[in-house]
Amino acid sequence: MSLARTWSVGLVGLSGGVVEVEVDLSAGLPGMAIVGLADTSVRESRDRVRAAVLNSGLDWPNRKITIGLSPATLPKHGSGYDLSLAVGLLAASDQVPCGAAEKFLFLGELGLDGRVRAIRGVLPAVIAAVKEGHQHVVVAQENGAEAQLVGDADVWVADTLADVVGFLCGDREGQRPVRVDAPAPPETPDLIDVVGQSAGRLALEIAAAGGHHLLLTGPPGAGKTMLAERLPGILPPLTDEEALQVTAVHSLAGELPRGSPLIRRAPFESPHHTATMPALVGGGSPLARPGAISRAHRGVLFLDEAPEFGRGVLDSLRQPLEKGVVSLHRAAGVSTYPCRCQLILAANPCPCAPATGDADCGCTSLARRRYADRLSGPLLDRVDLHVGLPAVSRRALLDSSDPREGSAQVGVRVAEARAAAAARLSQWGRRLNSEVPGVVLRESLRLPRQALTSAEMALDRGLLSVRGFDRVLRVAWTLADLAGAARPGSAEIDAAVGLRLRRIG
Ligand SMILES: [Zn+2]
């Protein structure tokens, strides 16, 4: 037979489609052509596939080889097609039964020596394959555990191209993914380590319960980073669906641990303040990769020294934060990634940021104002909680007797408050107070006038924008959920107004 076909997957962002790989051998000048919107990285496969076939002791057909990848409309990129191209070619030249080649879908890069190498994005690729009815997949040994996360997939793994050929010809037994006992995940930092900072701890608990964004201001050493790092530890573990989605994003970023790849805990991303816009929201070519904001999906995006980030970089976060997804347009296609994360911004009170606190600082109030203003109003307007942290006094540091709660205790209250919110909001298809549309807040969840006095005063005096007013209501509902109350009263509204307007510096 001189025509064979097999299958692979093309990914654009997190969504993908099955790609049919057709290989035709014909009389003519020996050579190999790949057609069907394959970019240069796929055309480079030619040399790898040839070397892998020859170095595996197989024959390279000395004929005109035409490889068609369809649908032609789906952009194809990367080295993940190597294995399917090789198998298709071997089937077309009668070295592998065509029926067997056609039954499986192949995802893997080939080394020149014929090894099958792991690729990025196996999880979303297998999800796409199963969705289109291709359950039987062959992947690299290292990608096995990841592919197997997809419930309905029938996963086979291979170390070398020769293994795959032996398996398809029935000469060798197929291999199933090996369960590797992964090292225990690193301990998440515990709130018990945080000394003092009762306001900061409370703000963190509110942020966790309602999914609110948070701004922490305070001198270096006050514990801003310490607090931020402890937010994932008090968030509930990811649901099955969330875990799969978060793992798929990290699979594309190529940073999953081998063996037990499923991410169960809310991720934490803290890009440096020199990060570029593509690093933060996603970018690259020919198809854009997920940025820090998407790797923080269902978790925490922490921007330390936030005023030091480029203005444009910070502003680029606004729309994705609002929408929960980011779409990156490239000539080759539009990649869409989820980015429903909680933002924590940390800022020093002034550019010189003395470790000693305010006393010895020579910065004028104007310099401080300017520094604070580097965080743009529209971005801050989306941050529900603004909390000033004082410097930790030496006495508090030395006094270890003050009773402190650990993450587990706080996590229980967070989970209860989230459950209360989810029960109330399910009729609007929401789970967190931070996600409730303004119109629902102001109409269906309308509060009695007398409870709103302080918020309305702040609105009248121009201290709150209309958007800010809605955010006060959202935080007040979270405070009520944490207190086990049916609805917020004036105490919760007052506290929420305070949490939004309090700023240091
Ligand atoms: Zn200063």
Give distance in angstroms: CA of 106 to centre of ligand 1. 59
Mean pLDDT over the full length of the chain: 89
pTM of the model: 0.88
- The alpha carbon of 347 and the centre of ligand 1 are apart by a number of angstroms equal to 12
CA of 117 to the centre of ligand 1 (A): 53
Computed on alpha carbons and rounded to an integer, the radius of gyration of the chain in Å comes to 27
State residue 303 phi and psi, 5-degree precision.
-110, 100
Q: Say which residue the tokens 């789970």 belong to.
A: 431
Residue 504 pLDDT level (bands cut at 50, 70, 90): very low
Residue 52's contacts (CB-CB under 8 Å, 6 or more residues apart) are 82, 86, 110, 111, 112, 113, 114, 115, 161
CA 296 to ligand 1 centroid distance, Å: 32
* Spacing, Cα 201 to ligand 1 middle (Å): 26
464 alpha carbon – ligand 1 mean position (Å): 28
163 token code pair:
């293994």
Q: Are 315 and 473 in contact (CB under 8 A)?
A: no
Q: Whose CA is closest to 358, among 168, 179, 505, 157? A: 505
pLDDT band at residue 409, thresholds of 50, 70 and 90? Answer: very high
pLDDT for position 35 = 86
**CA–CA distance, 291 with 321 (Å, rounded to integer):** 13
Main-chain dihedrals φ then ψ at residue 289, nearest 5 degrees: -95, 160
Q: Tens digit of pLDDT for each residue in 353-383?
A: 755 555 567 788 888 888 888 887 788 888 9
Indicate whether 400 pLDDT > 70: no
- Tens of pLDDT along 89-98? 999 999 999 9
Which three-class secondary structure state does DSSP give residue 439?
helix
Q: Which two tokens stand for residue 386?
A: 């603004």
Q: Report how far ligand 1's centroid is from the alpha carbon of 361 (Å).
A: 5
Q: Look at residue 463 in the predicted model and tell me its pLDDT.
A: 85
Cα 360 to middle of ligand 1, angstroms:
8
Query: How many Cβ atoms from other residues are within 10 Å of residue 257's Cβ?
Result: 15
Distance 226 CA to ligand 1 centre (A): 22
